[in-house]
Amino acid sequence: MRTATFAAALGLMLGMVGASVAAPSKAKAHTVTIEDMRFQPADLVVAPGDTVVWINKDLVAHTATSQVGGFDSNLILASDSWRYTVQKKKGDFAYICTLHPAMKGTLRVK
């Protein structure tokens, strides 16, 4: 019994240690390239705390604007970029370029 309890306790401690070490380093950096009048990738799965950078490689200005709320880059000029830290609220955030509304993307916050 004692050994088993000890092992369980040790396992729990290790697990906790593992969790506490892993949590802060899990935030990922994502890139969305804006090129040829498209967001690439158009569909991106992210987690709260991750960062997403939109890089505009087109010759014209664009925006990444979520019309359901959440984020709005305002103008991202040609050859410029915009960085966003993903907020806590989970769900699918559809976004468009307000200048060229045919350009569509989705951030899936999980």
Partner 1 sequence: MQSPTIIVAVVSMLLLPVAGSSAQGVNDAQIASIVVTANQVDIDAGKLAASRSTNGDVKGFARLMVTDHTGVNKSATDLAARLKVTPQDNPTSQSLKSEGDKNIATLKTLKGDAFDKAYVDHEVAYHQQVIDALDKTLIPGATNAELKALLVKVRPAFVAHLEHAKSLQSSLSKGH
Q: Which residue ranges make up the site for partner 1 (CB under 8 A)? A: 36-38, 58-61, 77-78, 99-100, 102-103
Least separation, in Å, of the C-beta of 18 and partner 1? Answer: 47
When the beta carbons of 14 and 60 are compared against partner 1, the nearer one is: 60
CA distance 73 to 107: 14
Q: Which is nearer to partner 1, 50 or 58 (CB)?
A: 58
Write down the least CB distance from residue 97 to partner 1, Å.
10
At a CB cut-off of 8 Å and minimum separation 6, what does 47 contact?
26, 27, 28, 86, 109, 110
Q: Which amino acid is at 24?
A: P
Query: Cα 7 from chain centroid?
Result: 38
Of the pair 14, 37, the CB lying nearest partner 1 is at: 37
